[in-house]
Amino acid sequence: MASTTLNALSLPSTAQPTVGASVRELLVAGQHLAAALWYTAFAPAAAQSTAQTAFEEAEALRSFAATLQRTDPEFARDLFAAADRHEAA
């Protein structure tokens, strides 16, 4: 009768993560979570103060289209039409 032994862990002992490494990774993940929550809570307030109205965005697009009118009039017409559609929406 023959017996066979199989190793349950095929990784060498140096490749297995230690408890300290796992705790360190958990702390790093916690820091990333805290940073994401902080950004979500406070960054939208700054972004809202710089938000433009549809009219302001359309005017910016129209001024860009005016700079292209001499070199590419068809594209400029498309941009003017897009500005009109954006303002109307």
Q: How does residue 52 score in pLDDT terms, banded at 50, 70 and 90?
A: confident
Threshold 0.85, pTM exceeds: no
In this predicted structure, the answer to whether residue 49 has a pLDDT above a threshold of 80 is no
Q: Are 76 and 69 within 8 A, CB to CB?
A: yes
List the one residue out of 29, 47, 26 whose CA is nearest residue 37: 29
Quote the pLDDT of residue 86: 92
Render pLDDT for 23-45 as a digit per residue (tens, 0 to 9): 999 999 999 999 988 888 887 66
Rounded to the nearest 5 degrees, what angle is found at the Cα of 29, between the Cα atoms of 28 and 35?
90
Structure token digits, residue 11:
């990784």
Average pLDDT over residues 52-65: 93
- Name the residue type at position 50: T
Average pLDDT over residues 6-35: 81
